[in-house]
Amino acid sequence: MKLAGIKHIHFMGIGGSGTSVVANLALAKGFKVSGCDLNLHSLYTKELEKNEVSISRGHSPSHLSGVDLLALSRAIVNLDPENPEIVEARRQGIPVVQWQAVLNLLMENYVSVGISGTHGKGTTTAILAEILTEAGLDPTFEVGAKISKLGTNFKVGKGKHFIFEADEYAGNFLYYHPNVLVVTNLEFDHPDCFKSIEDIIDSFEKLIRGMKSSAILIANVDSDGVRSLLKKLEGWEGRVITFGLENQADWTASGAQVGEKTTFELPSKTAVVVHLPGKHNIYNALAAIVAASFLGVPEEKIIKSVASFEGVEGRFDVRGEFSGVTIIDDYAHHPESIKVTLATAREVFPKNRIWCVFQPHMFSRTRALFNDFASAFCSAPIDQLVITDIFAAREKDEGLVHAKELAESISGKSVKYIKDLNQVKKYLLENIQKGDIVIIMGAGDIYRVSEELIESLKN
């Protein structure tokens, strides 16, 4: 499929983080854009609404008037294979594609740089986008969350580079054929579409073998899953560049956390400062540095940009101190991310009482990784834990797992299960104290708690 002749693209599920950013890119490229979603109160549609894009509630065949291409999220088909809007589009001969296919078409004629992996995609993509922007290369980019310093999660630049997140869910990234691919790490996730870590590795192998022979793969060899992937790629014609902190790699770095920042040293002995705490952010920064170097950015510009990077919205995002209480938003929804984030919080706030309010994301993930979630919270260096109901996302509740069961499985902690998000806010306001750190954690609509909590504390 080509975009030639396409004038009007309609996006179903336009409130999603991925769908909305591709809709914004299409709009910036001159296409007429419209959309619909079951939820009209999405954080991600604000920019589209500013540009007077027509967004309707729900799904209906009436949305298809004048539409040349229907782009959608896989979640819509998963939940309703006979969705009447999709059925009518096919009856009318309107092409129906996933939004990833549109993004792939928008990347034509660019040097495309995909950032993939289980964790760290958003932060790594954001660091690289900021490096190239500040180096004057004016890239086009899309990130799953807003880059704090740039104030946006997308941009159509005039340069030759297109930087994007390549999400492995259900093999969605197989639409892409990047010139450069970064793999941050590989662990088991998305149990609704992958049976094992081996399934995930197979999907990554398929992506990489579909890249051109001139492509570059930049891989973190400290990840067990990545090392397994590299073994399967023996004989691949592209170039492999490895990085890490522990194992022998082409690019290595030694680092340490100091207060609220991380420092590390490159092979050239150049010191790098990242104003993001945690060892995981050394990996994120190092991945972006290696990619930027191979894209031709001088080292001194890279180091300067990394040192001024302020983070990504929702990734250990310190919203501020309100009435003596510090509120932090974090997107962690996988056991490994939870462990890293909460350990980092304790390093940054060694003497404060730390609360974590966690909303599990998806029934299949909660069930498949149930013991890992319980273990992550049991060992977490926090004082108070609140667990809310599971955010369904693209699934239906089959009654096989419940958030209350997760709360009951966690020992050695003060744990409370609270079903309703409004009740979570009420409980916090009744129990938090001056000097407390409150981490609002999850990938669903848990952000509502931090927004409302901040307003209440302000007042």
What domains does the chain contain, in order, with CATH numbers? Answer: 8-98 (3.40.50.720), 107-307 (3.40.1190.10), 317-458 (3.90.190.20)
- In the three-class reduction of DSSP (H, G, I as helix; E, B as strand; rest coil), residue 355 is classed as strand
- For residues 271 and 300, the answer to whether their CB atoms sit within 8 Å is no
pLDDT for residue 96 is more than 70: yes
Beta bridge mates, 9: 33, 69
Amino acid found at 67: V
Q: State the pLDDT at residue 41.
A: 66
Q: State the pLDDT at residue 136.
A: 97
Reported confidence tier of residue 76, pLDDT bands at 50, 70, 90: confident
- pLDDT (tens digit per residue) in 389-405: 999 887 888 889 999 99
- pLDDT (tens digit per residue) in 229-263: 999 999 899 999 999 988 788 888 877 666 667 77
Cα 378 to Cα 4: distance, rounded to the nearest angstrom: 55
Q: State the pLDDT at residue 264.
A: 79
pLDDT for residue 369 is more than 90: yes
Average pLDDT over residues 385-391: 96
Q: State the pLDDT at residue 151.
A: 87
Tokens, residue 413: 């902690």
Q: State the pLDDT at residue 278.
A: 84
**Distance of alpha carbon 182 from the chain centroid:** 14
Is beta strand 96-98 parallel, antiparallel or unpaired with respect to 140-147? unpaired
Q: State the pLDDT at residue 46.
A: 82
pLDDT for residue 44 is more than 80: no
Cα 59 to Cα 63: distance, rounded to the nearest angstrom: 8
- For residues 314 and 447, the answer to whether their CB atoms sit within 8 Å is yes
**Side-chain-side CA neighbours of residue 155 (13 Å):** 21
CB atoms within 10 A of CB 457: 18
Q: State the pLDDT at residue 260.
A: 67
Which of 109-113, 182-186, 268-272, 355-359 shows the lowest mean pLDDT across its residues?
A: 268-272
- For residues 457 and 325, the answer to whether their CB atoms sit within 8 Å is yes
- pLDDT (tens digit per residue) in 195-230: 999 999 999 999 999 999 899 999 999 999 999 999
Average pLDDT over residues 361-366: 94
Cα 20 to Cα 168: distance, rounded to the nearest angstrom: 18
CB atoms within 10 A of CB 33: 23
pLDDT for residue 20 is more than 80: yes
Average pLDDT over residues 295-317: 92
